[in-house]
Structure 1
């Protein structure tokens, strides 16, 4: 066919104009043709996140939605804020949901996201200053992929900072995917929502690496000593009439955004830690919707404070106090106590993250923890000494991060073996695996030798808990983990052998995360876990175990704390649901248990760590209702060990001189010890 003269040039011109028009549309409307692009205002540098100097450390919370920190991480966040700790909370999504701020509201995603951000500012101002209307300085800060986020400072409490990334929570017009699909690679990019009248502008689009590196950049700017995350591996959950799904994601007990936010945070931590040889950040993960599946743990006073803060976020009284054109809070959550069961607990995914004390072969006490994604060891300067050597960071196993709560045990030849849960494969979403790894000192007191993978009861699939390890009377090692079915699985290595038995399920029904194991006077091992109806226990000898038993216990909640007393009897301490009470049961004969002493400390959810006394009683290490480390004696009196609220610990041990020692991590990430009399 003959070409009409001049049409080739005309077609080329039209093509150029069309391309220019398309580029202009992208510039004006933002990614994916979403609503019009708004330029950021009041930009400042990310370096303004740097913490103030001082001994209180720095904490960073990374959550999916504007209320996750209030529902799942409080009272911990509140304690740190009130203590004056430098605090940065990063909200990954805009939380726009259906765009309606409460029943009957008109759909307006941009306005609802801004209202939720208002609620977060009000909640933090209330925690820090008691004034929800306190003034904020609000700016934009540039992150990766050319995106801007909002960075806010509380004027009269400049240690409090909030960062809003405003990624899309829901799929819909102008939105492709959500956090989960960006994490697993289904979507290449995730765009943001330009919240009404906020300085970040947008919308923008994050790639997977761009979002991870943005979080790592925020960590480098603030250099946190504690990073709080959501649950990277929620419990599997059967949904039926007795267990409604609510907002759970498929067959697990949590929201899909919570899990994806946690996985992004763990990978950002890995990248951050890799660039800081001396990184000392302790990671703490919190359960989400899981809380409604088990008895509640918060004492009434703690629950009321938590609810009060959340009601501020939810703008319960509808009194207008905030500037701007949008609502002052999130009306969907208003009266949280009546709305659901999960705000009534605070639960750690890895509940026993305190420094693990082990007596070395030379009589000096050692302490082990995971900091900066690596195993860290401290050693007493001498037998019975009050001073300790500086922290020594050991090489990790690579390909992922070590979860909090390592286990450490002295082997028959005097070396110390360390066990941990590796959250691995985060560099590639299709290799997201969880498994137990172990390494042993090359020589007593030396560096750790090569890491070895022990796998998991679930063949590397998600669902395993952190390990508990106990040496039996022959020197054989027993590893126990909570498995995907919420029971206990174990592996055994005989003394003098390097060969481990296969994983074996001990049976016995569901228990919560957090196990406790002791060596009995006959050389066997007993392991304990908390079930709904009592404290479940198993007796293990070598690679054999007896049938599971259940100890009658009144409303147990959280991990048990077992110990063997000076008289050879086993005692188990536990918290009573919904109270600050610490109850106990005592073995009075084979298979026979009776109630023991009760005492009180804390807000109902803090971990317990036992230390038997020569007189046959037991001390307990825990935190009080202000988050301070305390030693609780058998009469119930609490000895305060340090004034600042702490995130991890305390644990207890007897050193080589027979003196009791309490150990915890200070808010600045350093090991603190006390020698209570």
Structure 2
């Protein structure tokens, strides 16, 4: 009887799965894949609750039971599931009442699927693989990832209505593909597949919880080929950067986690959870220079896609496969991008062929280079980025030169100042780093007392960043690159800036807000940091339907 009911349910799901509506507009459907029952509420919040409040279909897949070495394991796994349900009910603002169903996945594997009764568009799926710290299945998820022939048996939570099953590497990937087909997401969220090795040394070569890394790599392998937006979120190492969420957002996030903690005897509302609750950071933020006067550029399915006036075309990249999030404009008709695996920089100026600019020293294959920021100058293009040493390097006509620094976080920004001098600005844990390039091609450091919590955006004569309160700070070259304005924005993204200055950021309600000298305008919900066109008359951002949309600035 149970089997027949499951088959009917699977057929119904296939028929009802959201896709492209008749009018051609995708229904927002967001799929999170995480390792443990508290990972999304810690590391992907406020994005997940904002999606729920915006009415998107939101489904989280938990790969492990999270049972760790706590006994009895079945009861502890069940309590963590109960905690996740309580937290998601709190995010949705409804009673903690759920409908439990069974999904059949490839290989006749059965998993539990919970849907909120008052918000059935919110769902949780539990695969039940062993936790990394299970004494009988040490490093289970990591071994499944690294050893194709290895098999693991699932953990059955107390009160479960599905029997245990077994998985190998291929079956985990197949199940994720089937779940993607079932829920038809327009946007996918995952954990960090390659944590920065500068941080979290206590985790050894993984530099994070091994389950986080394995879950992210399974998700990347199973779902990246779809071409859907895949947002990777930093995990434990957000504690190694300044907190970046406004007080109100932190309070909401803490209240949700408190609902979870009521069920999990192993967590608390103190450290280290406080540091994770106070931040949310993407592994590779999109930056702000991918929008042009008539469109935008992005990497999708390993191709560089240029959109102009709503018409998309693929820009050939002979000699390299472009990296997601690395493409940006360095001026009209000039594009800079990175090679997918090495991070090497490539430059295309107008109709000319792509030109390799190589890699700056030091060389460390284990460290991702930051995305390039490029500006046109009299004798070519200057490129600046975070290098493999965690500092800042620039590429001029004379080659690569290391400016300095060792703890740079996000995107580096280059801007041409008055008199043609190039300024390079970057954020580190100790504050803003600032160099003025010299005639010799390298830079002279400029003292700064500014303390950004994320990437600094620049335009002619101005720079802006987000501070620890979520305020947007505006710096002016005419004032010696010191602050001339502070905007009470409660921003949850780093800002973009255009001449005026015109600023754009995502606020605590997930809305795109434009800030101009004469006031501010709210334009609509977005999913990540926006970009502004060079003239500031258009903003572009990823939206919940998985599309990059352009907003006209009034």
- 465, 478, 481: which one aligns with 1:574: 465
Q: State how many pairs are aligned.
A: 546
Check the 8 A contact 2:329/2:336 in 1, yes or no. yes
Match of 1:535 in 2: 432
Larger radius of gyration: 1
CA distance in 2, matches of 1:201, 1:457: 54
- Could you report, residue by residue, the CA deviation over 1:12-65 in whole angstroms, capped at 9, with x for unpaired residues? xxxxxxxxxxxxxxxxxxxxxxxxxx9998454263782275655221111111
C-alpha spacing 1:355/1:582, structure 2 compared with 1 (3 Å): closer
Instruction: Determine if the alignment matches structure 1 residue 612 to structure 2 residue 479.
Output: no
**Superposed counterparts of 1:12-411, under 5 Å:** 42=6, 44-45=9-10, 47=14, 50-51=17-18, 53=21, 56-99=27-70, 107-131=71-95, 133-143=96-106, 146-170=108-132, 172=134, 174-175=136-137, 177-185=139-147, 188-205=150-167, 207-237=168-198, 248-250=202-204, 253-270=207-224, 272-273=225-226, 279=227, 281-315=228-262, 329-336=263-270, 339-353=273-287, 356-359=290-293, 365-380=294-309, 389-393=310-314, 402-410=323-331
Check the 8 A contact 2:401/2:442 in 1, yes or no. no
Instruction: Determine if the alignment matches structure 1 residue 633 to structure 2 residue 516.
Output: yes
C-alpha spacing 1:154/1:193, structure 2 compared with 1 (3 Å): same
Instruction: Determine if the alignment matches structure 1 residue 474 to structure 2 residue 378.
Output: yes
C-alpha spacing 1:513/1:208, structure 2 compared with 1 (3 Å): same
- Could you report, residue by residue, the CA deviation over 1:274-313 in whole angstroms, capped at 9, with x for unpaired residues? xxxxx4x222121111121222111111001001111111
Q: Secondary structure at the match of 1:180?
A: helix
Check the 8 A contact 1:466/1:481 in 2, yes or no. yes
C-alpha spacing 1:452/1:140, structure 2 compared with 1 (3 Å): farther
145-154 or 343-352: bigger deviation: 145-154
CA distance in 2, matches of 1:450, 1:40: 58
| TM-superposed deviation, 1:162 | 1.7
- Could you report, residue by residue, the CA deviation over 1:444-499 in whole angstroms, capped at 9, with x for unpaired residues? 8xxxx7796945756461322442231332252333332333212333457xxxxx
CA distance in 2, matches of 1:171, 1:533: 35
Instruction: Determine if the alignment matches structure 1 residue 491 to structure 2 residue 454.
Output: no
Check the 8 A contact 1:61/1:89 in 2, yes or no. yes
Match of 1:417 in 2: 335
CA distance in 2, matches of 1:453, 1:136: 56
Check the 8 A contact 1:177/1:190 in 2, yes or no. no
261-270 or 71-80: bigger deviation: 261-270
Match of 1:7 in 2: none
Structure 2: any 5+ residue segments left out of the alignment? Answer: none
- 665, 670, 675: which one aligns with 2:542: 665
CA distance in 1, matches of 2:180, 2:320: 20
C-alpha spacing 1:620/1:415, structure 2 compared with 1 (3 Å): closer
TM-score by length of 1: 0.73
C-alpha spacing 1:542/1:222, structure 2 compared with 1 (3 Å): farther
CA distance in 1, matches of 2:522, 2:389: 39
| TM-superposed deviation, 1:96 | 0.9
TM-score by length of 2: 0.88
Check the 8 A contact 2:325/2:371 in 1, yes or no. no
Instruction: Determine if the alignment matches structure 1 residue 544 to structure 2 residue 544.
Output: no
Check the 8 A contact 1:176/1:190 in 2, yes or no. no
Structure 1: any 5+ residue segments left out of the alignment? Answer: 1-37, 100-106, 240-244, 274-278, 316-328, 360-364, 381-388, 425-433, 495-500, 566-570
Check the 8 A contact 2:379/2:397 in 1, yes or no. no
Superposed CA RMSD in Å reads 3.2
CA distance in 2, matches of 1:189, 1:197: 24
